[in-house]
Amino acid sequence: MGAVEAQLEARATAAAPARRRDAGAWLAYLALAVGTVVVAFPFYWMVASALKSPVDLFDLRLVPSHPTLDNFGQVLTRTQFPRWFANSLIVAAITTASVAFFDSLVGYTLAKLRFPGRGLIFVMILATLMIPTEMLVIPWYIMSSAYGWINTYWGIMFPGLISAFGIFLIRQFMSGVPDELLDAGRIDGVSEFGLYWRVALPQIKPAMAALCIFTFLGNWNAFLWPLIVIQTANMRTLPVGIALFSGEAGSAWHLIMASSALAVLPVLAVFAVLQRQIIEGITLTGLRG
């Protein structure tokens, strides 16, 4: 009996850590579930409100009692929402492409090329991150007015065509690209731009994906500068156009919710396509020194 009791006690002792791990896993899953609900509920409420009529808009029931698509029809047919959508898409797409190319090129140059003043240039670029955007609005506007960029796509885009944060991010990842790969390419006669394009860039795809989604989101949601530089209705971007649904006479919340639900769709599409690369890029960003 003593041997049997010893075996049972040993099994119980071994099972205790497993039970503690299971309990910890369930607590973690519970916390994640609660966090998911907290994060997703505002989006659900936005969509649910977009499906309500103005009369039922302030009904606090989670499921609309009389769902309707009239709000979406009004937004798409009675406002310039399609034009605003196109403007935001043009600005965000071109700016993202510009940042992806120029930031990666500058990051490669600062990480892999040796020349006098390289460190000073990098420090000066980082120093611009300490300047608040609000302090730059007036110089941007004066320059835009002097060169005739007011109320143009270029006037909306030029402040974000290259970013200091992107240069810093790509430079850190470029530093991890093995120099041996680049030296082998130079021996084979590959040009420096070819090394950047064909050798270095494929090594940092997660970082590029993360940079692209951050840039796209930032320009898609930009409000302050487009509000200042845009002067006509047909040049408004989505955030500026949606803001017009709210005024001194009141807010058309049913139209605000419907237009906001439509505005989220491109962001969800981009994240769905680049989800794996984005998560990997964000994870690796914290590991770079």
Mean pLDDT in order along the chain per 10 residues (289 residues):
54 57 82 90 89 83 85 91 94 96 95 92 93 91 95 95 94 91 90 92 88 90 94 92 79 87 86 71 53
Residue with tokens 């960029």: 149
The two three-digit tokens of residue 250, written as one number: 């009141």
What does DSSP assign to residue 201? G
**CA 153 to each of CA 81, 139, 140, 241, 243: distance values in angstroms, whole numbers, following the listed order:** 17, 18, 14, 15, 19
Do the Cβ atoms of 65 and 56 come closer than 8 Å? yes
Residue with tokens 């608040």: 132
Which pLDDT does position 139 carry in this prediction? 93
Which pLDDT does position 59 carry in this prediction? 78
Angle between helices 253-285 and 70-78 (to 10 degrees): 90
Which pLDDT does position 6 carry in this prediction? 56
What is d(CA 40, CA 34) in angstroms, rounded to the nearest whole number?
Answer: 10
Do the Cβ atoms of 188 and 125 come closer than 8 Å? no
Which pLDDT does position 3 carry in this prediction? 58
What does DSSP assign to residue 135? H
Which pLDDT does position 14 carry in this prediction? 52
Which pLDDT does position 287 carry in this prediction? 47
Enter the pTM of the model.
0.82
Do the Cβ atoms of 264 and 43 come closer than 8 Å? yes
Q: Are strands 250-251 and 246-247 parallel, antiparallel or unpaired?
A: antiparallel
Which pLDDT does position 246 carry in this prediction? 80
Do the Cβ atoms of 50 and 254 come closer than 8 Å? yes
Which pLDDT does position 213 carry in this prediction? 86
For residue range 207-217, what is the model confidence (pLDDT) as tens digits? 898 898 889 98
Which pLDDT does position 248 carry in this prediction? 63
Q: Which of 178, 201, 170, 198 is nearest to 284 (CA)?
A: 170
Which pLDDT does position 289 carry in this prediction? 45
Which pLDDT does position 206 carry in this prediction? 83
Do the Cβ atoms of 236 and 243 come closer than 8 Å? no
The two three-digit tokens of residue 112, written as one number: 């892999």
Please give the single-letter amino acid code of residue 104. Answer: S
Work out the angle at residue 234's Cα, subtended by the Cα atoms of residues 269 and 69, and round it to the nearest 5 degrees: 50
